[in-house]
Structures are given as C-alpha cells and as structure tokens.
Amino acid sequence: MKIRTIISFISAVFITNFSFAQLSDLVKIDYTILPRGNSEIEYSRIRGLFNYPIQLKKEGSYLLLGLDYSNIKLVMDAHPSFNKEALSDFQLLDLNIGYTAALKNDWRLGMRLTPGFSSNLTAHDLSLEDVIISGDVVFIKDKTKDKTIKKPWRLILGASYSGNRGYPFPLPFISYYRKFHSKWSYNIGIPKTNLQYHASSQHRFKLYAELDGFTANLQQGVTINNTLEAESINMSIVLGGLQYEYHISKHIQFYARGSYILNNSVNLRAKNKDDILKLDSSNALYLRTGIRFKI
C-alpha cells in the first residue's frame, strides 16, 4: 500500500521540459527529434533521469530525490544576423526534491522543488543566470485502487511553475483520470490530456495532447545584427499524437510516440525576457522513443 501511495504522488507532480514526465519512473532514458522538414532548425534531445523515494517517520509521508539530465542540440542553417554556433548545444540538469503527506478525507498533499541549470555553457563555468527554479504544489484524491468503485478515478488539483519547460510562467495543474471500461481510460486536464486503449497487459495505445519545450541561458550572449544581444532562448511546443507502449515486464516499459506539432515557437530573448528574434520553426513532426523502469 505504501508503494501505491508513492506512485499516486510521483506519477502526478513531476514535470521536466517539457516535456511532462512521471516520477513513477525510477530510471528513464529517451531520445526526441524534431526533423528539420521545411524549417531551418532540427531539434534533438537525449534525456536520462533517476529518482529515489525515501519513507519518512511520519506515517504516509515520503521524500523523493532525483536527478534529470538532458543534452539538447539544434542544427540550423547559416543565419545572416548571428553566429549559430552558440545555439548548437545545451546542457540541462535538475535536482528534484519532492514531499508527500496524507491529509484528511483521502486527500494527499504533494510538493516539489527543482533547482537546476540550463545553459549553452560557452563560458565553461556556471553563473547565476544559468540557474533555473521550478516548483509544484498539488492535492490528490486517488480512487484507482478502490475495489468497490466500478469506474476508478483520480483527481489532481494544484499549480505548477517551471523556468525550463518553454512556458516560464505559472500554470494550473488539473488532471482528472477515469477508467470507464476494462480496455479504455482517459485523462483530461492541463498540461496534458489523453485517451488510452489497453489492448492487453503488454500493449497500450494512447492518443494525447500536451505541452513541451525548454528555456536556456546564453552565456556571453549572442549578438544579432551587430546591435541587439540575446541572453536566452525559449522553445515552446503544443503537440498531439499517438503513443505506443510495450510492457516488457511489470516494471520495464518501452515506448514510442509520433506527434504532429500544432504550434512551435523558438525565440531569442533579451535580458528582460522580451522576444527580439523569432526563428523559423515550422517543424511538423515530433518523434520520441525510450525505455523506463517504473515502480
């Protein structure tokens, strides 16, 4: 029962780049690519994460510690207004610190603080401008394990902020999950919505829509047209598509997804976060594959 409690918390509140991940992943490695297509940019990302839950003395309370690392590469055409080399490679590292505790009436509190850095590291040393802070506070009511309920459900309400997901402003965190059939379930909310078909114990298909992206500091700046200086880059994506999951075992899962990009924006920003140059980012496809080890 304690492991299930951890899963209820960690599957709800962890959000990295973007892409939104689940903290039920103890170990995960994945690869994402946005093929160039008709745009001037090709985006690729290699990501690895590790999480470890710790039971605290207070009954029903847990601490969660984890690391989340990404290497992002942008391959772009020569640009007349700036040197593209400073925008080719980005390093992202987050330290996840989570806490959960039981409340009254079957509610549960979940909190997460994520300090980290996101930078092109052209100066080879970190600075305060590279630091990214993220955080979440959510309240969870989980009835997915209640055998007396014919259609299991879970409700999560809260707020989330991340300086490194492409949408660097507070967002509501709303999630309502229900399994309304032995082979069908849905999740409606912000930042993601999906409809899932449970083909068998090993094979699942998921139609989904969600947000993705990243924000990173540009060390030493990037001069544009010999006048303006960009100090950060922001990429924000809205996408929808199909995900396939193959459950190799109870805890090991392979997944692959293909998505259509509904909206994609890549901007170079000044020190005050104002957009000063929008890059051609008319990519249409978003592809990701990976493997995860879950609780």
Q: What angle do CA 214, 85, 130 make, to 5 degrees?
A: 40
How far CA 71 is from CA of 127, 157, 179, in Å, comes to 18, 31, 36
Given the structure tokens 């470890």, which residue do they identify?
52
Alpha helices in the chain (DSSP H): 2-13
**Residue with the larger pLDDT of the pair 165 and 232:** 232
Please check the confidence at residue 8 and state whether its pLDDT lies above 50. no
Give the C-alpha separation, 274 to 232, whole Å: 10
* pLDDT, tens digit, 9 for 90 and up, residues 45-101: 999 999 888 889 888 888 889 999 999 999 988 777 888 888 999 999 999 998 989
Q: Are 186 and 170 in contact (CB under 8 A)?
A: no
Q: Model confidence at 24, in pLDDT bands (50, 70, 90)?
A: low
Q: Model confidence at 23, in pLDDT bands (50, 70, 90)?
A: very low
Give the C-alpha separation, 189 to 67, whole Å: 26
SS3 assignment, position 250: coil
Burial pattern 280-290, b for ≥16 Cβ within 10 A else e, equals ebebeebebeb
Please check the confidence at residue 22 and state whether its pLDDT lies above 90. no
Average pLDDT over residues 168-183: 89
Given the structure tokens 């259609």, which residue do they identify?
151
Give the C-alpha separation, 173 to 20, whole Å: 11
User: What confidence score (pLDDT) does residue 14 get?
Assistant: 36
Which residues are within 8 A (CB) of 200 and not within 5 positions of it... i.e. 6 or more apart?
A: none
Please check the confidence at residue 11 and state whether its pLDDT lies above 50. no
Other CB atoms within a 10 A radius of the CB of residue 273 amount to 12
How high does pLDDT run on average in the chain? 87
User: What confidence score (pLDDT) does residue 6 get?
Assistant: 47
Please check the confidence at residue 196 and state whether its pLDDT lies above 90. yes
> Which tokens in the block code for residue 5?
């409690």
User: What confidence score (pLDDT) does residue 191 get?
Assistant: 84
* pLDDT, tens digit, 9 for 90 and up, residues 200-249: 989 999 999 998 989 999 999 999 988 889 999 999 999 999 999 999 99
How far CA 282 is from CA of 19, 138, 201, 265, in Å, comes to 19, 35, 38, 8
Give the C-alpha separation, 214 to 185, whole Å: 29
Give the C-alpha separation, 253 to 203, whole Å: 10
User: What confidence score (pLDDT) does residue 1 get?
Assistant: 42
User: Which has the closest alpha carbon to 51: 67, 63, 70, 29?
Assistant: 67
Q: Which neighbouring-strand residues pair with 48?
A: 29, 69
Give the C-alpha separation, 121 to 127, whole Å: 9
pTM over 0.75: yes
